[in-house]
Structure 1
Amino acid sequence: MSGNIVARRYAKALFTVGMKQGAAELETYGTQLAGLAGALAESPEAMRFFRNPVFSVEEKKAVLKQITSQLGVSQMLVNFVSLLADKSRLDSLPGIAEDFGAMLDEKNGIVSGKLVTAVNLSDARKVELKERLEKQTGKKLVLDFGTDADILGGVVLQIGDSVLDASLRAQLNILKETIKRGE
């Protein structure tokens, strides 16, 4: 989740409305909100336009209407971004989308994580590790795999806020500290 309190509040408000309307609508809002935030992220000049106080709220709403109609966004989401324009909060849209996505993942029992190894893993090994971790956590995982030769061996696993550093580098550092203390 983003660290922006304003974004979190707006995301929570939209999430609450979506929950009342049903799971299908909630998923639709998440998809459309992510699409809208992605479109704005690809166009930095649009974000500069929305941040610029020289342009009136009505001008910003007119541009938003064009963008949302091209993306096929639902009327509820059009109303939501119109409210953001009224409150001069359009610059918070990427954070709102990020927080909304995190809330949706939490509701669906999906946890994001990253697994770093010293060498590239085969696709079969990645699938095997992911399945094993899903069984242990009891949740569906979305894992990013990465490599870092500096860990020397083993793995560094981050799931949510938890980090498991089972790398050779970490073990050597522990050994080094133990030797320093004379234990």
Structure 2
Amino acid sequence: MASSRAAQRYAKALLDLAEERNNQEAINKDIRDIHKTLEASGELRSVLKSPVIDVNAKVNSLKAIFKSVSEDVKNLFSVLANNNRIAELNLVTKKYIELYDEKNNVKVALVTTAEALTPAIEAKLLAKVKSLTGSEVTIKNKIDESILGGFILRIGDQQYDASIQGKLNTLRTRFKNKAHV
């Protein structure tokens, strides 16, 4: 819990700094790229959490991996390292994205599919969801083969289940309740 609050504070401080320096878009892009990389690389997350690896080596590695990010983001690496919080970089980036999206009224649509969305389908879905919600939307694709096909769309507390598994469950319930008679 304490680390979550600390991550929230670092994320808020970076968001405030980005706003103050009027480079929110650049920092947002950098943070999203870092978060995506950290989510995809368990090895990098392990390196950041390792007590055996020197903190300076961790910071230098991050700066080498993310050499194109802004100086403010590179400074975040150093600040986290100096405060023994470098292992929480993934959580800080996640909190930053949440704060940025909330501040800019960007909704996150979680789309669960049996396999990865193609760029064409993602673009169509994004356009449809934007028209339904009337606000900016980002799509996060979650793969769950157990839904068999179709998709489950969740935005906030609303959910639309168009999965084959959902339809089968509905039929199963109707047959149990003898709604077919």
Letter in 2 for 1:31: K
Structure 2 spans left out of the alignment, 5+ residues:
none
Stretch of structure 1 that moved more, 67-76 or 79-88:
67-76
Q: What residue number does 1:6 align with?
A: 6
Q: Is the 8 A contact 2:150 2:162 kept in 1?
A: yes
After superposition, the Cα gap between the structure-2 partners of 1:82 and 1:126, relative to the gap in structure 1 and judged at 3 Å, is: closer
Which of the numbers 37, 42, 63 marks the counterpart of 1:68? 63
Give the partner amino acid of 1:9. R
Give matches, 1:1-183, under 5 Å: 4-22=4-22, 25-36=23-34, 38=37, 42=41, 44=43, 47-48=46-47, 51-52=50-51, 55=54, 60-61=55-56, 64-65=59-60, 67-68=62-63, 71-116=67-112, 127-144=123-140, 151=147, 155-167=151-163, 169-174=165-170, 176-177=172-173, 180=176
Between the aligned residues of both structures, percent identity stands at 26
TM-score, reference length from structure 1: 0.65
- The answer to which of 98-107 and 145-154 deviates more is 145-154
Residue ranges of structure 1 left out of the alignment (5+ in a row): none
| Separation in structure 2 between the aligned mates of residue 66 and residue 121 of structure 1, nearest angstrom | 32
Q: State the AA in 2 paired with 1:52.
A: P
Instruction: Determine if contact 1:111/1:141 at 8 Å carries over to the other structure.
Output: yes
Report the TM-score when normalising by structure 2.
Answer: 0.66
Report if the CA contact (8 A) 1:11-1:97 is conserved: yes
Q: 1:15 to 1:146 in 2, by over 3 A?
A: closer
Q: Deviations over 1:112-147 (max 9, x none)?
A: 324346799887665444322211111233335678
Secondary structure of 2:84's aligned partner: coil
RMSD across aligned C-alpha pairs, in angstroms? 4.2
Number of aligned positions between the proteins: 175
